[in-house]
Amino acid sequence: MLSTLRLAIAAFLALMLSGPCALAFETSARAAYVLDMGTGIELLAKNPDQPLPPASMSKLMTLYMLFDALRDGRIDMGTEFTVSTKARQMGGSTMFLNEQDRPTTAELIQGIIVSSGNDATVVVAEGLAGSESAFARQMTTMAQRLGMTNSIFANASGWPDPNHRMSVRDLAVLAQHLIQEFPEYYGYFSQMEFDYQNRSPANRFNRNPLLTMGIGADGLKTGHTSEAGYGLVGSAKQGDRRVIFVISGMDSAEARAEEANAIANWSFRQFAEKTVAKAGTPIATAPVWMGGRASIDLVPAQDLKILLPALAGDRIPAEVVYSSPIEAPVARGQQLAELVVKPEGLPEIRHPLVAAEDVAAGGFAVRVKTAANVLFTRLANGPKGSM
């Protein structure tokens, strides 16, 4: 039987907050998605799963494939790649590579991130998979493994193609994987300048406008085509919190920069991660069946941190959920329940609660007493005859 204890968090977590909840962010982007990375809570979702042309933002998938090859030992940072005529002939933003060049892995990473080099992505695709079409198929397969359910790739660069699509949620998932799986390479995303062999002084600056805004931004990638509009996959860290945000379909580079900056600031200022209970602090008490003790305290195993609207009210709906009865014996640290917090405007938050101490099975006297109580209850609640 599932039992719940309905609680007001303020009653036991001592949250002294007042005022209205966070207001939803009204974005002019065609699609937008914001993820609080530490808690996994979705702060904003507008058309999050609509497959859209990602433009150069899809270069993040090419980089993931390149980082994965480094991790597997198939290449190293000094590995040299050949440049095909197809790569040299790529239009748009390039590193100005030619067939005589032998760029290294490290140079191609910088060329893709900082210079947004379409030629560099073709060099990587051909170097790892033999052809760009084969690489695109591998990108699609890898995306599915990563849980990106609305992504399909036709090329390595994001060049316009009706069969090249990603959703903003998928781009956020990809950004999270890049940050978590490849911290040794993530620093490249905040590199401000790169000019391969002094060939492209006009194209040497990182296009990410957030890197110089003082908001803790350290990645990831912009994108633009006439079909896709102006988009950005960004991440920023302030204190212990990291936020990932994606916007697509803005009308101009200026509008993209303003919107991304506003979303980042809103994400940090309208929400706060609060430690609302220390590990071992009793949250609730639950009855124990046939135990040496009649009840047990339920506590968080680690400090209980919850992301809440910064101006949340002082009473936030919550409940403790557990299967009843809890049967003895019970071991200290055994998970017995969940604290379910339901802040307004956010998905519910679940945290495990564990036993605060051991409870041994009851002895003979406890079993006899329990059996007598059950029998008495059944008799008292049995059918009543009429006279």
The DSSP annotation for 292-341 comes to SSSEEEEE-SS-EEEEEETT--S--EEEEEEESSEESPB-TT-EEEEEEE
- Give the rounded distance of the alpha carbon of 121 from its chain centre: 26
Q: Report how far apart, in Å, the C-alpha atoms of 339 and of each of 187, 278, 308, 311, 320 are.
A: 37, 14, 15, 21, 5
9 lies in the same domain as 64: no
Write down the pLDDT at residue 15: 37
Measured CA to CA, the distance from residue 196 to residue 211 in angstroms comes to: 21
- Give me the CATH number covering residue 334: 2.60.410.10
Residue numbers of the domain that contains 35: 31-269
Least confident stretch, 208-212, 262-266, 359-363: 359-363
Asked which of 247, 269, 291 is the last residue of a domain, the reply is 269
Q: What 3-state DSSP class applies to 228?
A: coil
Closest CA to 156 of 107, 75, 90: 90
How confident is the model over 137-154, as pLDDT tens digits?
Answer: 999 999 999 999 999 999
Asked which of 206, 240, 269 is the last residue of a domain, the reply is 269
How confident is the model over 277-332, as pLDDT tens digits?
Answer: 889 999 999 899 878 888 899 999 998 888 888 776 556 778 899 887 788 899 99
Q: Residue 386: pLDDT above 50?
A: no
63 lies in the same domain as 166: yes
241 lies in the same domain as 289: no
Q: Two tokens at 263?
A: 């979303």
Q: Are strands 295-299 and 284-289 parallel, antiparallel or unpaired?
A: antiparallel
325 lies in the same domain as 368: yes
264 lies in the same domain as 292: no
- The amino acid present at 339, given as its one-letter code, is L
* Number of other CB atoms surrounding residue 56 within 10 Å: 26
214 lies in the same domain as 363: no
- Max mean pLDDT range (195-204, 309-318, 374-383): 195-204
Q: Is residue 387 part of a domain?
A: no
218 lies in the same domain as 348: no
177 lies in the same domain as 310: no
Residue 19 pLDDT grade (very low, low, confident, very high; cuts 50, 70, 90)? very low
104 lies in the same domain as 171: yes
Measured CA to CA, the distance from residue 387 to residue 228 in angstroms comes to: 82
The DSSP annotation for 61-105 comes to HHHHHHHHHHHHTS--TT-B----HHHHT--SS-----TT---BH
Q: Is residue 26 part of a domain?
A: no
How confident is the model over 238-271, as pLDDT tens digits?
Answer: 999 999 999 999 999 999 999 999 999 999 999 9
pTM, two decimal places:
0.82
Average pLDDT over residues 360-364: 66
In the chain, the percentage of residues whose pLDDT exceeds 90 is: 69
223 lies in the same domain as 304: no
Asked which of 234, 251, 269 is the last residue of a domain, the reply is 269
Task: Confirm if 118 and 155 have CB atoms less than 8 A apart.
Answer: no
Task: Specify the number of domains making up the chain.
Answer: 2
65 lies in the same domain as 109: yes
217 lies in the same domain as 88: yes
Write down the pLDDT at residue 327: 87
